[in-house]
Amino acid sequence: MEDRPQGRSPREAWAENHPGDRDDLDLLGNQDDLVKAIRATGKPIVVMLLNGRPNSINYIAQDVPAIGTEGQTQVSVDVTNTGTVRGDEVVQLHIRDEVSSVTRPVKELRGFQRVTLNPGETRTVQFALGMAELSFLNRDMRRVVEPGTFRIMVGGNSVDLIDTKLEVVTR
């Protein structure tokens, strides 16, 4: 039998200073409350998750339009057919690096998806935005992602876009 205090069931990584398994998969502490408070400001936000294990993010997944994990972000947009006939829309994802060490385009197409919608139908379109989509060739012709602010723009064409900002940081 393994060495553990009486009455304790076997647990992953049990030690005197670490109780092992968690009781649930929710985010630790008041992290959901922090996201709710930031959302209450009305400003567009992106939640970046840096975790060593899976977590339950039900509130965030339901109420935040962009969620990311380290090197990758999910960008979501709802598309609605407001017409009276079935139709197609090509949803485009564009980025703009606000400040860069080299001259970059004003808008860079980084993804697109065609959706077919019935009258009144709404569908959520998602794009993965990671290192490949944010990187560029620097002066030394090396592919890099520089820290800074990126505008993330989504729409049915390259002019009529909704946007938010993504802050890329380095460790």
Q: What mean pLDDT value characterizes the chain?
A: 82
The CA–CA distances, whole Å, from 137 to 28, 104, 148 equal 38, 10, 16
- 36-45, 57-66, 78-87, 161-170, range with greatest mean pLDDT: 78-87
Q: Residue 17 falls within a domain, yes or no?
A: no
More confident position, 29 or 132? 132
The lowest-confidence range among 66-70, 73-77, 80-84, 110-114 is 66-70
DSSP state for residue 115 in the 8-state scheme: E
The CA–CA distances, whole Å, from 48 to 15, 68, 116, 126, 153 equal 30, 4, 30, 16, 18
User: What's the rounded Cα separation, in Å, for the pair 46 and 48?
Assistant: 6
Query: Across residues 73-90, what is the average pLDDT?
Result: 93
Question: How do residues 6-21 score in pLDDT, each as one tens digit?
Answer: 544 444 455 566 555 6
The CA–CA distances, whole Å, from 64 to 59, 84, 139, 158 equal 8, 30, 36, 24
CATH code of residue 46: 2.60.40.10
Question: 147 pLDDT exceeds 50?
Answer: yes
* Cα 80 to the center of its chain, rounded Å: 21
What pLDDT does 96 receive? 94
Reduced to 3 states (helix: H, G, I; strand: E, B; else coil), residue 53 is: coil
Pick the closest to residue 166 from 132, 127, 134, 124 (CA basis): 134
* Cα 135 to the center of its chain, rounded Å: 17
Question: 2 pLDDT exceeds 50?
Answer: no
Number of domain units in the chain: 1
The CA–CA distances, whole Å, from 146 to 28, 93, 112 equal 30, 20, 24
What pLDDT does 83 receive? 95
Domain residue limits at 123? 31-168
Q: Residue 12 falls within a domain, yes or no?
A: no
Report if pTM > 0.75. Answer: no
Q: Residue 25 falls within a domain, yes or no?
A: no
Pick the closest to residue 95 from 145, 38, 50 (CA basis): 145
Query: Across residues 110-129, what is the average pLDDT?
Result: 95
Q: Residue 6 falls within a domain, yes or no?
A: no
Query: Across residues 77-83, what is the average pLDDT?
Result: 94
Question: 36 pLDDT exceeds 70?
Answer: yes
Q: Residue 120 falls within a domain, yes or no?
A: yes
Q: Residue 81 falls within a domain, yes or no?
A: yes
